[in-house]
Structure 1
Amino acid sequence: MSPSAHPLLPPELQASYRDAGLWQDTSLMRIFAERARTSPDAPLYVGDAPRTYAEVATMARRFAAFLLDRGVGPGDTVVAPLVSGWEATAVVAAASCIGATLAPLPSRATRSQLLGLLEATGAAVVVISGRVLAKRDWKGTAEDLEKDAPGLRTLVLTDAAHAPDQASELPDVASACAGYEPAEVRHTDTGAPFLLLSTGGTTGPSKVVMHSENAAVYAATQYAERCGLSPSDVVLSTGPFGHASGTIFTLFAPIIAGASVLPATRWEVRETSRAISRHGVTWCLMSGTHIYDMLQLDDDQVPLWSSVRGLSAGSGSDERYAAAERRFGFRIRRMYGLTECVGHAVMPEDAPGDVRMARDGLPFDGVECFVEGGGDAGEYLVRGPSLMLGYLRRPDLTAETVTPDGYLRTGDIVSIDRSGFVRYVGRVKDVIRRGGINIDPLELERLLVQHPDVTDITVVGVPHPRLGEQAVAVVVPREGSEPTLADLTGLLAEHDVPRQSHPERIVLVAELPKTEFGKHNKPAVKQLLAGLDPHGEVNG
């Protein structure tokens, strides 16, 4: 089967990717099946639910047969709110096996995000974690999906023990596969949409990014090679399933390298440290927030990280990374990327120390990038083998975001030095970066100004030692009212805004500084907050 052409990249550029071996025109399942054939007893997952390569690959092919029996195939979408682990990998590989499209969601997704994705994709199958269904605000979801998503044909559980009320009514992945022989690994269209990653919406998945399997395999291969992953490595998976970190870099990449994976379904730094020591973790992918938590460990817990040879990390400060290297003795490899052009820059191991600690990576093979205007810093434009196919059902937005010759307008302000190393500087638009999550303050303001006790409001990001930034709601209250933080977050919860996007402080003021054009003067607001709260203590 000839792969579909990329709709946004020039044909001659696509041909060059194949000539250079950057697009391999092979699927995750084909790579996985070969690993399982040559090293069947090698551990793929370690921890509480250990599984070998052969065990997970066989389960993936059985689940593929289950899906085929229900008429699921190329062009059909499987929506999957899951936690990382062997069952999630089996679901991803099963979709790859039959050429279906996978739309993963993290376990912290809201019910409205799931329903929005089902409506946008017309999905035939939902595979949902019992850990998700067990959450209080998801109660009744399984029963309601039949009427809320009329196109849905099949609902399957993973982590079924965490949702005992549903386990008796719904099949889990293992029971769904019972009685099925493993499906043949098909030759699928590796240029077609395979991965749908939701991004950019504080109040829901307002943008769904489409990626081909060629892009995902390329990004994972480049990451594995740049980080030196091998069958002797044990990779800690902390990234949420549904994001590129948890669906490509700690799922695809270890399989491509033949490495093992320790899934961390919940980040708690002391508990995770003990697990790292117990299972001999050698490599991690983390954020600046994880690094902050690690620096809070007591001295007697630092040796628990002695097996770790290095880690890749994004969205953290130079000083924090340098402090972690001094304390733990491993090497940090900074990385940079976007959902629309996934993880396309990682710091080489042999980069000089002053560069390694001050830049955010060197682009992967085949990536072309530049700063608009040619100055020291400006909006970053990039194209390469991991460029998205576009936004799902948003050709208008795709055309606005990608130039006619295939360059993505990232909205990031970046500097590029003479050697090609990139450094993230900021955003063109007003975005709050909280622990690796982008929060659009305008979306929050449009909702919060509707509160009856609010006359005017702006939401700004202020520095936070652990998260990088923290969202603060600065409110002009209605006369005689004194709204609280709980009042505001309660309104956001009613609109299904994820908790990680909620403001964490509230400050009441008599009036908000305005520009000469009558808009909120956010630099002046931030200066006001610095004067009111120099220690960064949480108010409200």
Structure 2
Amino acid sequence: MVAVDISPAAALYRRALYPGPPAVIYEDREILADELARTVREFAAGLSAHGLRRGDRIAYLGFNSPAFLVTLFAAAHLGAVFVPVNFRLAADEVRHILNDCGAHTLVVEEGHRELVASVRQDVPARSLVLVDTDPECPATPEPDPAWTPLSALHGAHRPVREPVALYEGDLAALMYTSGTTGRPKGVMLTHGNLWWNAVNVDSVVDTRADDVNLAVAPLFHIGGLNALTLRTLVRGGTVILRRGFDPARCLEDLVRYRVNTFFAVPAMYAALARTPRFAESDLSALRSPIAAGAPVPPQLIRDYDAVGLLLQQAWGLTETAPFATYLPAPLTSRKTGSAGLPMPYTEIRLIDPVTGAEIDSPDTQGEICVRGPNVAVGYWDNPEATRTAFDDRGWFRTGDIAYRDEDGFHYIVDRLKDMIISGGENIYPAEVERVLVEHPDVLDAAVVGVPDPKWGETVLAVLACRPGARPTVEEVREFTGRHLARYKLPTRVEVVERLPRNASGKLDKPELRRQVTARPAVPTP
């Protein structure tokens, strides 16, 4: 078999040879493909002069921006490994990631420089680059001499060698998991993983070379980066890039720019649906609104169907780059709540999480395992975690529980580690949460297990409600009891202003558990 160069930098440079639409529109400023390509080449030359070599790790700490994308492409140009860092992390967490990956170079936006300065003596980074080219970033005071301004690397006019050839097995990125159990692990994603996800997406999603894609989900997250954004840039489309998510501005962008493809987590779609003028907005250009990252409530699907939009649910993880399954738009209503079928070049199987035996029968819950060219090769410098999650036949144990219906469509139940055991019965919080958000007074819901002297654990429902609404535990149990077995019903209810979510929009269950355990317990009815 002939090896094929799949470098995203080379693909960007090919695109830049032809006239076409802007590659990026960032906070309403257009950046043409040839300008983006020229900036990437200059940055790659500057990084090379500062000692960055093939295989070295280059980390980025900041919000969505052209500098983020330029760093990614420049890393690919040199064959370096890109490490996007969650901008919400505390100093100790950033210290861990930079040490774990052995970062050679760190590119930082002003606003995060002080955090990096606080850990600088403890991390291996030999080159510190400060973003001073972005007017949307905070003003940059005079940094100390340890920092190199990004503008100095762009404008030095150094000789630029051609990008290195990159093949399927070459490491592209280390993307750190959220660390809900122990320290975050660096997921090793190859260029093949990223490329094959694009092949999967383009095989089943209505995507086109000249798509307009809106990127508001954080790019440090695999969904924000590789669900649609990267493929749009290298194929010839336009990425509308925002530093973060604002529901009202998001709706305005979808209408103004006639956006065709859009990735967001369900919480973002819910916030978007609550914005004024949502129902009357012209979203007819939006062919492929993809929801993933958390279960999609059926009511949310109905809300979008009412305005003529079919939310397309997908499922996956960082380790699957990101999509492993997808529900085609025409089946959104008939298979409401399903995460869909396996992607064309991805295999899925269910196993008993205890015995490892494969589950063939429909409607039987098991742990999802995934195999395919989009699946990561393991965890960086963590052979024990790699052996636990990846077997020698290439199957990745996801830790997600699902079942498959008679037609072969998959339904995600919950994370295995979030399971509640009450009186010997297994309860999956997501199952209860899907019912809770159907309650007319509930805007958002989360379920966690809390200690109970009689049952071992019991179900606590934490609710964000409409203004003035405070449903009682009796009302919640009466409502959920219409749809769930009695042992699954909440025995405690807490109403909060908002639920904690991480930068990716997912429920932050560890933080939620910390919050509820810090408050005094309410007697069980």
The answer, yes or no, to whether TM exceeds 0.5 is: yes
Post-superposition Cα deviations, 1:320-343, rounded to whole Å, max 9, x if no partner, equal 333232333122111000112221
**Contact 2:337 2:411 (8 Å CA) reproduced:** yes
Residue in 2 that maps onto 1:12: none
The 5-angstrom pairing of residues 152-191 of structure 1 reads: 152-157=126-131, 161=135, 162-166=137-141, 168-169=143-144, 170-180=147-157, 181-191=159-169
Residue in 2 that maps onto 1:391: 379
Q: Equivalent of 1:87, from 37, 60, 67? A: 67
The 5-angstrom pairing of residues 51-66 of structure 1 reads: 51-66=31-46
Is 2:406 aligned against 1:407? no
Question: Which amino acid in the other structure matches residue 423 of structure 1?
Answer: Y
Partner Cα separation in structure 2 for residue 287 and residue 300 of structure 1:
17
Q: CA deviation at 1:463?
A: 5.7
Post-superposition Cα deviations, 1:445-475, rounded to whole Å, max 9, x if no partner, equal 9xxxxxxxxxxx9997636469xxxxxxxxx
Q: CA deviation at 1:215?
A: 0.5
Is 121-130 or 199-208 further displaced after alignment? 199-208
Post-superposition Cα deviations, 1:260-302, rounded to whole Å, max 9, x if no partner, equal 1112322221122123222222221111101211222234664
Residue in 2 that maps onto 1:365: 344
The 5-angstrom pairing of residues 376-525 of structure 1 reads: 376-430=364-418, 462=461, 464=463, 501-503=510-512, 505=516, 507-509=519-521
**Contact 2:324 2:370 (8 Å CA) reproduced:** no
Partner Cα separation in structure 2 for residue 230 and residue 292 of structure 1:
26
The 5-angstrom pairing of residues 82-481 of structure 1 reads: 82-133=62-113, 140-157=114-131, 161=135, 162-166=137-141, 168-169=143-144, 170-180=147-157, 181-202=159-180, 205-299=183-277, 302-303=280-281, 305-314=283-292, 315-342=294-321, 343-351=323-331, 353-355=333-335, 357-372=336-351, 373-375=359-361, 376-430=364-418, 462=461, 464=463
Partner Cα separation in structure 1 for residue 107 and residue 509 of structure 2:
24
Partner Cα separation in structure 1 for residue 519 and residue 152 of structure 2:
53
**Contact 1:27 1:190 (8 Å CA) reproduced:** no
Aligned sequence identity (%) = 19
Structure with the higher helix share, 1 or 2? 1
Post-superposition Cα deviations, 1:81-131, rounded to whole Å, max 9, x if no partner, equal 232232211111111111001111232232222211111122110011224
Partner Cα separation in structure 2 for residue 440 and residue 292 of structure 1:
18
Is 363-372 or 169-178 further displaced after alignment? 169-178
Partner Cα separation in structure 2 for residue 332 and residue 98 of structure 1:
38
Q: CA deviation at 1:142?
A: 4.2
Partner Cα separation in structure 2 for residue 459 and residue 391 of structure 1:
34
Partner Cα separation in structure 1 for residue 97 and residue 382 of structure 2:
14
Post-superposition Cα deviations, 1:44-72, rounded to whole Å, max 9, x if no partner, equal 33543321111112111111111111121
Residue in 1 that maps onto 2:502: none
Partner Cα separation in structure 1 for residue 329 and residue 24 of structure 2:
25
Post-superposition Cα deviations, 1:179-198, rounded to whole Å, max 9, x if no partner, equal 23444122135413221111
Partner Cα separation in structure 2 for residue 39 and residue 167 of structure 1:
39
Secondary structure of the residue aligned to 2:129 is strand
Q: CA deviation at 1:204?
A: 7.2
Q: Judging changes above 3 Å, is the alpha-carbon distance between structure 1 residues 61 and 245 closer, same or farther for their aligned structure 2 residues?
A: same
Stretches of structure 2 lacking an aligned partner (at least 5 in a row): 352-358, 420-428, 435-445, 466-494, 500-506
Q: Judging changes above 3 Å, is the alpha-carbon distance between structure 1 residues 145 and 299 closer, same or farther for their aligned structure 2 residues?
A: closer
In the alignment of these two chains, the number of paired residues is 444
Secondary structure of the residue aligned to 1:340 is helix
Q: Judging changes above 3 Å, is the alpha-carbon distance between structure 1 residues 358 and 60 closer, same or farther for their aligned structure 2 residues?
A: same
Secondary structure of the residue aligned to 2:207 is coil
Partner Cα separation in structure 2 for residue 461 and residue 218 of structure 1:
41
Q: CA deviation at 1:25?
A: 4.5
**Contact 2:218 2:244 (8 Å CA) reproduced:** no
Stretches of structure 1 lacking an aligned partner (at least 5 in a row): 1-14, 134-139, 446-456, 467-484, 490-497, 512-527, 532-540
Q: Judging changes above 3 Å, is the alpha-carbon distance between structure 1 residues 94 and 25 closer, same or farther for their aligned structure 2 residues?
A: same
Question: Which amino acid in the other structure matches residue 46 of structure 2?
Answer: F
Question: Which amino acid in the other structure matches residue 212 of structure 2?
Answer: V
**Contact 1:105 1:241 (8 Å CA) reproduced:** no
Q: Judging changes above 3 Å, is the alpha-carbon distance between structure 1 residues 282 and 188 closer, same or farther for their aligned structure 2 residues?
A: closer
Secondary structure of the residue aligned to 2:264 is strand
- Runs (4+) of structure 1 exceeding 6 A deviation are 431-435, 439-442, 457-461
Q: CA deviation at 1:362?
A: 2.0
Partner Cα separation in structure 1 for residue 371 and residue 199 of structure 2:
17
**Contact 2:23 2:36 (8 Å CA) reproduced:** no
TM (norm. structure 2) is: 0.75
- For the aligned residue pairs, the C-alpha RMSD in angstroms reads 3.5
